[in-house]
Amino acid sequence: MTLHELFAGLEATPVGTAIRESTWLFPTIETVHVFAITLVLGSIAIVDLRLLNLASRNRSITELTREVLPWTWAAFILAALSGGLLFTSSAVKYTQNMPFKAKMLLMLVAGANMLVFQFGTYRSVSGWDRGTTPTGARLAGALSLALWFTVMSLGRWIGFTT
Amino acid sequence: MIQTFCEWLSNTPASMAIQNAFWVIPTVQTVHIASIAVVMSSILMVDLRLLGVAGRGQSLDAVVGRYVPWVWVAVIVLLFSGIVLIVGEPGRELLSDVFWLKMMLLVCALLLTLGIQRSMRGGGGFWERRRVVAALVALVSLAVWTAILAAGRWIAYVEHG
């Protein structure tokens, strides 16, 4: 089975068909998606701004991430599920859409940035938890902020190019 | 009368310029959504602290002081980006019932946020003594801001005049 057949098959599922043909399902799921992505983007920004020493400078980084990141993950799961449902409604069209493809690619890059930070710079966090962050952390924060903002922008452009 | 105003506005040079540049609306919408991200996440952190669910490591007035100023900055950006969107497509917003519902909810949300901010003047003690009221205020705040976001998205889908 080719990828094209897979996406065509996904579109033809009862779920894909229902979302595509209903007048209210797509906007409803899209509203959930927008709700979720605003929380993903905003909560990641709270952590990124701390890594950049631009906000919450008086807070311990481990404490801040413990109170913010569980909500980021919850919102991310909601965004992925709702996004997946939107995708099934026109899978073939989305996989041929340039902003969509760029968005998926940049999410992978954002994930890689997070992993590199988590298993690299972050291992020495006890040394700078309450203080000024090292260059590696500032770089990860700046990249994360730029990447997630771009991901959100590309998401908005999908709606104007399909 | 609003109809006439929309027709006039859509024929102004500013509106024509926006209509003729395909990238303006999506770009301004992107700025608008990024600002909503700032509002929603800041409000979430304040409301979770009011609920006693997250951020207990900090006093309530410290949490409000950390996040609420960002709400006001973002609201100003939302106001200006929103105005550009209205100038570009006046009928889409001004003739839409969902848009006016959103504006009414926005007034409620802004007053509520202002109220929470001003209640911090004596420190957060006011709320620590009223945990149930604090939880209710937090839930109402989350519900109203979420309704504003939802109404904003539905402007694009509900038929207007």
List, for residues B14-32, the tens digit of each pLDDT value: 999 999 999 999 999 999 9
> Given pLDDT bands bounded at 50, 70 and 90, which one contains residue B56?
confident
Q: Which residue of chain A is at minimal alpha-carbon distance from B74?
A: A42
List, for residues B94-107, the tens digit of each pLDDT value: 999 999 999 999 99
Residue B5: the pLDDT is 97
Cβ atoms < 10 Å from Cβ of B135: 16
Chain B residues within 8 angstroms (CB to CB) of chain A: 22, 25-26, 29-30, 33-34, 36-42, 44-45, 48, 54-55, 57-58, 66, 146, 149-150, 153-154, 156-157
Flag if B41 and A56 touch (Cβ within 8 Å).
Answer: no
Nearest to A75, CA basis, from A33, A117, A118: A33
CA distance B3 to B9: 10
The nearest CA of chain B is from the CA of A112 a distance in Å of 23
Q: Which residue of chain B is at minimal alpha-carbon distance from A62?
A: B57
Single-letter code of the amino acid located at B94: L
How many CB pairs below 8 Å do chains A and B form together? 77
Residue B38: the pLDDT is 98
pLDDT > 90? residue B160? no
CB distance from A47 to chain B under 8 Å?
A: no
Residue B34 within a domain: yes
Residues near A117 by beta carbon (within 8 Å), at least 6 away in sequence: A136, A137, A140, A144
Flag if B41 and A31 touch (Cβ within 8 Å).
Answer: no
pLDDT > 70? residue B161? no
Q: Which residue of chain B is at minimal alpha-carbon distance from A145?
A: B34
Residue B161 within a domain: no
Q: Which chain A residues are Cβ-neighbours of B156 within 8 angstroms?
A: 27
Q: What are phi and psi of A133, to 5 degrees?
A: -80, 150
Residue A1: the pLDDT is 75
List, for residues B70-92, the tens digit of each pLDDT value: 999 999 999 999 999 999 999 99
DSSP annotation of A1 reads -
Complex ipTM: 0.95
Mark A27-44 as b/e (b = at least 16 C-beta within 10 Å): bbbbbbbbbbbbbbbbbb
> Which of B44, B54, B55 is facing A39, going by the closest CB pair?
B44
More confident residue, A147 or B130: A147
Q: Which residue of chain B is at minimal alpha-carbon distance from A54?
A: B66
Average pLDDT, chain B: 95
pLDDT > 80? residue B124? no
Return the structure tokens found at B120: 């911090």
Flag if B44 and A149 touch (Cβ within 8 Å).
Answer: no
> Which of A34, A68, A149 is facing B153, going by the closest CB pair?
A34
Flag if A41 and B30 touch (Cβ within 8 Å).
Answer: no
Nearest to A53, CA basis, from A123, A115, A137: A137
Q: Which residue of chain B is at minimal alpha-carbon distance from A47?
A: B41
Domain ranges for chain A, please list them.
3-161
Region B138-152: what's the mean pLDDT?
98
Residue B75 within a domain: yes
- The angle at the Cα of B120, spanning A51 to B78, to the nearest 5 degrees, equals 60
Q: What is the count of structural domains for chain B?
A: 1
Which mean pLDDT values do the consecutive 10-residue runs of chain A (162 residues) have?
92 97 97 98 98 94 96 98 98 97 98 97 95 96 98 97 89
Residue B55: the pLDDT is 84
Residue A16: the pLDDT is 97
The residue range of the domain holding B24 is 2-154
CB distance from A22 to chain B under 8 Å?
A: no
pLDDT > 90? residue B129? no
Residue B122: the pLDDT is 78
Candidates A34, A56, A98, A154, partner chain B, best to mutate (most B CBs within 10 A): A34
CA distance A69 to A75: 10
List, for residues B3-18, the tens digit of each pLDDT value: 999 999 999 999 999 9
- The angle at the Cα of A149, spanning B93 to B83, to the nearest 5 degrees, equals 25
DSSP annotation of A127 reads G
CA distance A40 to A34: 10
